[in-house]
């Protein structure tokens, strides 16, 4: 039971971290396109 809760919390942490990383990458690409890309 305890190990199961621990693994579930690790999965949630992985999903949250992955979402943050994807958001950061998307924002960086968006800024680069706005600054350096063609209008």
pLDDT tens digits, residue range 12-22? 999 999 999 99
Evaluate whether residue 38 is within a structural domain.
Answer: no
**What is the rounded distance in angstroms from the CA atom of residue 22 to the CA atom of residue 24?**
5
pLDDT in tens, 1-39: 567 778 889 999 999 999 999 999 999 999 999 998 876
Query: Encoding tokens for residue 29?
Result: 């690409």
For the whole model, what pTM was predicted? Answer: 0.62
Evaluate whether residue 19 is within a structural domain.
Answer: yes
3-state DSSP helix/strand/coil % of the chain, to nearest 5: 90, 0, 10
Evaluate whether residue 39 is within a structural domain.
Answer: no
- The count of domains in the chain is 1
Domain hosting 17: range is 1-33
Q: What is the pLDDT of residue 39?
A: 62
The whole-chain average pLDDT of the chain stands at 90
């Amino acid at each position: 039971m305890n190990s199961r809760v621990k693994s579930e919390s690790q999965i949630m942490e992985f999903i949250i971290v992955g979402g943050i990383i994807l958001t950061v990458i998307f924002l960086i690409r968006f800024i680069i396109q706005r600054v350096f890309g063609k209008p």
